[in-house]
């Protein structure tokens, strides 16, 4: 991770294939395409890879999340349970839909805890957004059972977790709808892009229409298409999808490299007593994009992070102080601040996001470091990285 580390002749050829046409729009205009349909090709590849009936590409992971909510009928006044540790887009999509984000505790999986979800449910709860952070899963069996018991939709935000699985079933396919991101720093990179996957014909039909101004995509004449629903423009271009076609063919190789590199580093740190590795409910299903671990105190986590930075160990993240990935640093979410009045702000009993108390999540995240696993490392580079990490802990 990220997939761009393996950009090569395959990606150049797929992009050149589109350039030979000079036509980048993903729909219609059949006569100009000479049989080239990169977005449709990547969608079929995703369907086969993930064993889902439907996959639909959009312009970003954020667009996938907003489209999934709209396609599932979730909007004004509905509550959606979401973790405080995620990329901020998971929350922004809920807010922009007019729904209400309700934050719940995470556990040592770094994902929503079943107990946290249970405590956050109210009569207005419609869905749980289970974010598979840093490439791995939460306690899915318990969370699925809880959602079924309460009649809640399970939306999987698998934007960081393509290639991950839970007991053999791909992450993103365990709930009613799953979302993926293919931006520049994801496991599979289209430059920009995302996808919605589902077994539901209704959700798929709504998704492909909503993401293209409500077009029904019937027939090959753009001007004759119907507009059954309202929508926006979240279309992916053929250029982005072309990159994705080449990258998706490399997914098994990417996962194998990530897992090998992560295993080498994790094994070399296993004898350091103060390290507690993130709990993985299914270790074999980890996509291995990150190695995450907890230290005894927040002060120790900050100290180790600073030592690693001074030693030139890049790709070490202290998410608790990160502006993009933890609730306490999201001033715009805390204040629901935007250039226009957001529809969610019209709710009279909106939570006060400036004073959300999530002590368990704070305790976990303030002690957590995550090491990015790169594809381009040589064995020598990994050995040097291990040396610097162990030295930061005072180990030989």
Residue 144 is among the residues annotated as catalytic for this protein: no
Backbone torsions φ then ψ of 394, nearest 5 degrees:
75, 25
Whole-angstrom distance, CA of residue 365 vs CA of residue 232: 36
Write the CB contacts of 145 (distance below 8 Å, at least 6 apart in sequence).
none
3-state secondary structure 224-276: HCCCCCCCCECCCCHHHHHHHHHHHHCHHHHHHHHHHHHHHHHHHHCCCCCCE
Please tell me the chain's helix, strand, coil percentages from 3-state DSSP, rounded to the nearest 5: 45, 15, 40
Asked if residue 170 lies in contact with residue 51, where contact means CB atoms within 8 angstroms, the answer is yes
Asked if residue 32 lies in contact with residue 153, where contact means CB atoms within 8 angstroms, the answer is no
Query: Residue 56: which of 27, 78, 81, 91 has the closest Cα?
Result: 27
Query: Residue 45: which of 160, 167, 195, 168 has the closest Cα?
Result: 195
The residue from 186, 250, 262, 374 that is catalytic is 186
Ranges assigned E (strand) in the chain: 54-58, 79-82, 100-103, 125-131, 153-157, 165-166, 169-170, 177-181, 194-198, 276-277, 290-294, 316-317, 368-372
Kindly list the catalytic residues: 186
């Amino acid at each position: 991770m990220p997939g761009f580390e393996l950009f090569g002749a395959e990606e150049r050829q797929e992009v050149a294939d589109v350039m030979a046409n000079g036509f980048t729009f993903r729909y219609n205009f059949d006569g100009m395409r000479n049989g080239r349909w990169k977005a449709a090709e990547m969608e079929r590849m995703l369907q086969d890879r993930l064993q889902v009936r439907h996959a639909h590409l959009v312009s970003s992971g954020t667009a996938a999340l907003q489209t999934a909510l709209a396609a599932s009928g979730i909007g004004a006044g509905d509550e959606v349970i979401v973790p405080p540790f995620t990329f901020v887009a998971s929350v922004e999509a809920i807010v922009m839909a007019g729904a209400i984000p309700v934050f719940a505790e995470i556990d040592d999986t770094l994902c929503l805890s079943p107990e946290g979800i249970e405590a956050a449910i109210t009569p207005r709860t419609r869905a749980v957004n289970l974010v598979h952070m840093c490439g791995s899963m939460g306690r899915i069996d318990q969370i699925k059972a809880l959602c079924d018991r309460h009649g809640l939709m399970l939306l999987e935000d698998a934007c960081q977790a393509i290639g991950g699985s839970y007991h053999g079933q791909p992450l993103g396919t365990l709930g009613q709808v799953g979302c993926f991101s293919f931006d520049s720093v994801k496991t599979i990179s289209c430059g920009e892009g995302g996808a919605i996957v589902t077994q539901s014909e209704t959700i798929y039909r709504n998704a492909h229409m909503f993401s293209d101004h409500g077009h029904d995509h019937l027939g090959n004449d753009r001007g004759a298409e119907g507009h059954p629903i309202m929508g926006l423009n979240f279309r992916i271009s053929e250029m982005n999808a072309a990159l994705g076609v080449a990258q998706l063919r490399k997914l098994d190789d990417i996962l194998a490299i990530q897992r090998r590199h992560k295993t080498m580093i994790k094994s070399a740190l296993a004898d350091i007593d103060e390290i507690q590795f993130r709990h993985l409910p299914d270790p074999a299903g980890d996509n291995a994009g990150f190695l995450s671990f907890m230290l005894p105190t927040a002060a120790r986590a900050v100290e180790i992070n600073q030592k690693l930075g001074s030693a030139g160990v890049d790709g070490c993240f202290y998410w608790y102080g990160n502006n993009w990935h933890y609730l306490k640093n999201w001033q715009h979410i805390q204040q629901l601040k935007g250039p226009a009045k957001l529809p969610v702000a019209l709710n009279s009993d909106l939570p006060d996001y400036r004073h959300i108390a999530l002590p368990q999540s704070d305790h976990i995240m303030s002690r957590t470091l995550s090491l990015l696993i790169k594809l381009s490392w040589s064995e020598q580079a990994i050995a040097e990285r291990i040396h610097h990490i162990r030295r930061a802990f005072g180990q030989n």
